[in-house]
Amino acid sequence: MTTMTFDAERVERTDKAVALLAAPGTTRILNELLDFGPLLRHQQGSPFPEFGSRRVQYYFTSLRQRGLVEVQLVDDLPAFVASEAAVDLGDVYDALNSWAKAHLPHTAELPYVARVHETLMLLGEPFTVPILAALANGPVCSEIVELLIRPCVHSVTARAAVAEHLPRLATRGLIDRADQDLDTITLTEAGRALLTPLAAIDSWGAEHAHIPVGEQRRAVIPAMAHAILPSPARQWRTR
């Protein structure tokens, strides 16, 4: 994304991939399978006491439907395993983790999986991906941002999306609107750095275009690392 001209189709695909990866339970469960390998089906709830059995079942069903988790026989017993597409998320997760370590100081003591999830939650806020992509090639005015993201907004006007969400992105420290007179908007250092994990998600989405993605836009909600923290009994990476 850092070197491309604005491509609405590509941006929308990346935005939907972000929504897919930011879905509840996804980061937590996939990292469990990637770190520890197959999980016997009858033991699916044991590593996730924070979710509850019904929610765990729902998450695994959803992940299987989206092609991120498969069921295979392990010692003649059915077990959940990460699919090839999920395994390929390793570089994506590492990029998300690196950005959080550099730009989200409050995540310093959190496990790897929590930092990844926090970054995904930030990217998953409405219109964050299209606006960042619109600014990827340098400072522009708000009217240009509106023009670029227009094909990526559906339920609201581009002007309304920009008016509502530029202040939020400034509060998040991702954009700078210091020159109000010229209406010039530019990415901050953190915003520019966030293009790296976005590019990784873009590449992953292009390589795994068969993975179904949702159409629903996300509501703006705060990141909730506590909701996906691993059980204390598990020895998680703190990379």
Q: What are phi and psi of 74, to 5 degrees?
A: -125, 115
167, 226 contact by CB (below 8 A): no
Helix (H, G, I), strand (E, B) or coil at 190: helix
Say if residue 145's pLDDT is above 60.
Answer: yes
Q: What predicted TM-score, i.e. pTM, was given to this entire model? A: 0.85
Residues making up the chain, counted from first to last: 239
Domains of the chain as residue ranges with CATH: 1-22+90-209 (1.10.10), 24-88 (1.10.10.10)
- State pLDDT tens for residues 185-230: 999 999 999 999 999 999 999 999 888 765 544 444 444 333 333 3
Task: Give me the chain's average pLDDT, please.
Answer: 85
Output the pLDDT for position 158.
Answer: 87
Burial class (CB in 10 A: 0-12, 13-18, 19+), 232: exposed
Q: Own/partner pairs for 98-101, CB < 8 Å, 24+ apart?
A: 98/196, 98/197, 99/190, 99/193, 99/194, 99/196, 99/197
Which residue in 76, 41, 47, 75 sits closest to 61, CA to CA? 41
